[in-house]
Chains A and B, each alone.
Chain A
Amino acid sequence: MSRYADLVLTLLAAAFVLALSWAVPWLRFVMTIAIAKGLAVLGILLLLRAGQVSFGHALYLSLAAYVVAFMAARIPEVLLLLPLAAVVAASIGLLVGLFVSRYRAIFFGMLNLALSMVFYSMLDKFYEVTRGGDGIRVPVTSFAGVVLSPDQQSWALLILALVLAVGFGAFVRLYLLSPMGSALSALKTREARLEFMGIPARRILLSAYVLSAFMAGCGGALIALSTRHVTPALAYWTASGELVFIAILGGAGSVFGPFLGALAYELTRTYAAALVADAWQMILGTVLLVVILFAPGGLWGIGRALVVRGRQA
């Protein structure tokens, strides 16, 4: 898609999110969480480009969330907490990445899963520090030095989430077209050739991995600031699976996919849980099955195909 079309679509999507959040106030929170998860899924999309699936990225999301929870009392400022949490997530991403970027396919996926579960156990078991399954309450934080009312704060976080989504979306879009991004998808089909061209494949993957951890960190910080309560459930393996689920649901073909997938996922979950409390997971499972079988490009792919068909008609 052209840059112009993408820009228009971005503005429309942002306007839609803002309008919906204004019309249905309680959806503001749902939207913020969805976009926050979308940021983490954007990282999953990067790794998918390299043919690698991480079943452990909730590690970075939850790590950042806990950084916010621990530090909020000392640094009660959103605009400091969020970058701090993201940088911590990226730093741990670098350490872990040095190790996991040596592995591919199922080993890559499972190592990520294992490490995230180690972190989950630490959160769950070290009660003295983490308060275990009770979790930690995040104290009230200021936004750009101003202590906002809960209503204003939720708007501020939603807009911050949107700004981050647009910023990272634009960055990842450029990244995928850059030499580093091209080498990333080249790694998927012919990794050995990269080495014979002088391109260090492992470092290419590591760069994407650290970026993905950074974005997941931003998402995790937003979740902690919005929910104002963090628990080990954020790090549980199902949370990582959820990110992969959203990536497939939204489609890995475009940077819009993760956010589209995340919004669809959160809205379906919210409404389906209210309407058919016991069956919402079944509904999501069926949707995923249909997407995998009939629309491997995800919701983004479906939407695109409809637009193309509409133009041809």
Chain B
Amino acid sequence: MILLSAKGLKLAFGGVKAADGIDLDVRNGEFLAIIGPNGAGKTTFINMVTGYLTPQAGEIHYDGQPLVGLAPRRLVRLGIARSFQLPQLFLEHTVAENVALAIAAREGLWSPIRPLMRSAWRAEADDILAQFDLSDIAERRADTLNEGARKLTDIAMAVALKPRLILMDEPTSGVAASEKISIVETLVRVLRTAGVTAVFVEHDMDVVSRFADRVAVWSQGKIAALGPPGAVLTDPNVLRDVIGIETEAGHAAA
């Protein structure tokens, strides 16, 4: 079943074509990695799906429903959440409060007197943080965290919204190499358990080959290749254009 379907998306900033006819179907339950050089339009795609940018042409359907023109706030209600390349945390709040605020956003925000950290929400926030192995830092203020913890908290907030589809912009960028795999392992375990479909932008090919069901290769606002990591990541053109490795086959093809 197709959960998200993009057809003919186009968006240009001045002369730069950030999206130049993007067609992509995201299957329910899959982990789809987006790779490609900087400036290829990967984040633009996420921004269009989450309502931050409006495509100049093309359509996006989610669960059969057209999305273009809806505000980010509406899209969250439909079950689309996102995390950010630069984690967007509420810096004056603790980690638990950040997650609890996401729960509040989902469950009912408009209470001026009942506490945010009421027992049910507190318990749910603790549960989510435990899944992400963040229990130890639940009471730390968000502005005191290291990059890895900030990334995971950012994603935990998106997961707390109980989305069906999550779009993650470079979940491992800025994270120490030694932490990367363990962070993604945690992430994948949580998302698989919750049955969330994930689209994520990633530069680390090791992460992509280990965790993605399919890979979409972005190049100059277009999808240059799409398929399982085993096939795409061995494609000589992809190796040359995206990863920057010249292979003999690729050399011959060029």
Q: How large is the interface on A (under 10, 10 to 19, 20 to 34, 35 or more residues)?
A: 20 to 34
Distance in angstroms between the alpha carbons of A179 and B93 in the assembled complex: 12
CB distance from B105 to the nearest CB of A (A): 4
CB distance from A68 to the nearest CB of B (A): 27
B102 touches A180 (CB 8 A): no
Among B73, B89, B112, max chain A CB count under 10 A is at: B112
Q: Which one, A171, A180, A192, contacts B88 given CB within 8 A? A: A192
B72 touches A190 (CB 8 A): no
B82 touches A196 (CB 8 A): yes
Given A175-B112, A179-B101, output 11 extra A-B contacts at Cβ < 8 Å.
A177-B115, A179-B111, A180-B110, A182-B100, A185-B92, A189-B92, A190-B88, A194-B105, A195-B73, A197-B81, A207-B112
Distance in angstroms between the alpha carbons of A193 and B157 in the assembled complex: 10
Residues of A within 8 A of B93 (CB): 182, 185-186
A177 touches B117 (CB 8 A): yes
Distance in angstroms between the alpha carbons of A195 and B75 in the assembled complex: 10
A188 on the B face (CB < 8 A): yes
A181 on the B face (CB < 8 A): yes
Q: How many residues of B contact A (CB 8 A)?
A: 35
Q: Which of B27-60 contact A (CB under 8 A)?
A: 50, 52
A200 on the B face (CB < 8 A): yes
Once A179-B101, A185-B92 are accepted as A-B contacts, the answer to whether A195 and B72 lie under 8 Å apart by CB is yes
A174 on the B face (CB < 8 A): yes
B77 on the A face (CB < 8 A): yes
24 contacting pairs across A/B (C-beta < 8 A): A174-B112, A177-B116, A179-B108, A179-B111, A180-B111, A181-B112, A181-B116, A182-B90, A182-B97, A185-B92, A186-B90, A189-B89, A190-B88, A193-B88, A193-B157, A195-B71, A196-B52, A196-B73, A196-B82, A197-B105, A197-B157, A198-B73, A198-B106, A199-B73
Residues of A within 8 A of B101 (CB): 179, 182-183, 186, 197, 199
Per-residue 0/1 for B73-95: is the Cβ within 8 Å of any A Cβ (1 yes, 0 no)? 10011000110100011111100
Q: Which of B86-140 contact A (CB under 8 A)?
A: 88-93, 97, 100-102, 104-106, 108-117
B76 touches A198 (CB 8 A): yes
> Between A and B, how many residue pairs show CB distances below 8 Å?
93
B9 on the A face (CB < 8 A): no
B90 touches A196 (CB 8 A): no
Distance in angstroms between the alpha carbons of A251 and B84 in the assembled complex: 34
B161 on the A face (CB < 8 A): yes
Distance in angstroms between the alpha carbons of A186 and B108 in the assembled complex: 16
Q: Which one, A178, A196, A198, contacts B113 given CB within 8 A? A: A178
A196 touches B116 (CB 8 A): no
**A199 — nearest CB in chain B belongs to which residue?**
B105
Distance in angstroms between the alpha carbons of A182 and B88 in the assembled complex: 15
Once A179-B101, A200-B73 are accepted as A-B contacts, the answer to whether A188 and B92 lie under 8 Å apart by CB is yes
Among A178, A197, A207, max chain B CB count under 10 A is at: A197
Distance in angstroms between the alpha carbons of A178 and B251 in the assembled complex: 62
Which 7 residue pairs across A and B have the least CB separation, nearest first? A198-B76, A179-B104, A193-B88, A186-B90, A197-B105, A174-B113, A189-B91
Residues of A within 8 A of B50 (CB): 196
Per-residue 0/1 for A111-154: is the Cβ within 8 Å of any B Cβ (1 yes, 0 no)? 00000000000000000000000000000000000000000000
Per-residue 0/1 for A251-275: is the Cβ within 8 Å of any B Cβ (1 yes, 0 no)? 0000000000000000000000000
Distance in angstroms between the alpha carbons of A190 and B150 in the assembled complex: 14
